[in-house]
Amino acid sequence: MKSIDEIRAEIESFQVENAENLEQFRLQFLSKKSEIQALFGEIKNMAQESRKEFGQLVNDLRDLAQNHYNEFKATIEAASDRKTTLIPDITRPASRQTVGSMHPISIMMGEVRRIFEDIGFSAVEGPDIEDDWHVFTALNFAEEHPARDMQDTFFIELHPDVLLRTHTSSLQVRTMEKQQPPIRVICPGRVFRNEAITSRAHCIFHQVEGLYVAENVSFADMKQTLLYFAQRMFGDEVRIRLRPSYFPFTEPSAEMDVSCNICGGAGCNLCKHTGWVEILGCGMVDPNVLENCGIDSTKYSGFAFGLGIERMTMLKYRTNDIRLYFENDVRFLQQFKAATK
């Protein structure tokens, strides 16, 4: 019969790499016919004074074997779980992956930017929270102008001269303050106005405003630029019209309409049954605005325009409710997957 030391050495040198090795270890050292169990059977043949010491040694040997067995078993089970995780059953059907898409507002914003960038405009960005100078005063807004009233503007309660910008014209001011003409920029961004939310208006919306300042810039330059944009956006068959208007920062000023492609001119809710949809305001930059920004108005002239992205998106994709763009209904957004490509 093997000695206790011999069996201990075999336990400590035994290598277990798989489930078969583990079973061999159990049979050799922990089963009823194992070598350790045979040692327990020899206790009755020993002298009375030696039984206690010998029994303790055999118990320690069995505990050593049991501990090794438990460690080997845990290692094999962990390896099996890891293998199952890393190498799944390749015969199972694949899970369907849901593919997202860009938001229609982002799609339209990108398309507008590309059209103007193709003709030399650069995009500039700036803060949503602005001060009175960049939003109103520098743009020739009089102190009593209704746009300064709380009915239209979200002011910061503790700071009356700080507000959420009502248009991205503030970026035009910042650009003219830092750069001398020629200037050709567009200013995309989100704006805020304290208005009632309806199918045609929202308190949060997006704009792209443009500015071109150089020598001898005329109203005709502005008209041809905007006609080019409308034809690129809506197709060569689109018609435009310019209606006289008023803006504090441009003179003369106009609003530009495009023929409604939803109803084909017959009349619908979007065009208010007129056949035309207003998409932007425009005009020649007021000399006071140029002077406020440090530009010589006797040498330079320019035009500016601002268009609403939501209105154009409704026209482009023939949707009739602006609120759909802010509700994040996945069923609605999934319809624009093709437009993302």
What pLDDT shows up at residue 92? 77
Give yes or no for a contact between 248 and 261, defined as CB atoms under 8 angstroms apart: no
Give yes or no for a contact between 166 and 153, defined as CB atoms under 8 angstroms apart: yes
Give yes or no for a contact between 130 and 191, defined as CB atoms under 8 angstroms apart: no
pTM exceeding the 0.75 threshold for the entire prediction: no
Which residue numbers in the chain have pLDDT < 70?
A: 1-2, 81-89, 150-151, 262, 264-265, 269-270, 338-341
What pLDDT shows up at residue 49? 77
pLDDT tens digits, one per residue of 218-272: 999 999 999 999 999 888 888 899 999 999 999 999 999 988 876 766 777 667 7
| DSSP per-residue string spanning 123-179 | E----SEEEHHHHTGGGT--TT-GGGSTTT--EETTEEEEEE-SSTHHHHHHHHHH-
What pLDDT shows up at residue 87? 58
Which of helix, strand or coil describes residue 29? helix
Measured in degrees and rounded to the nearest 5, phi and psi for residue 60 equal -60, -40
Give the dihedral of Cα atoms 196, 202, 208, 213; nearest 10 deg.
0
Stated as kind and residue range, the H or E segment containing 79 is: helix 48-86
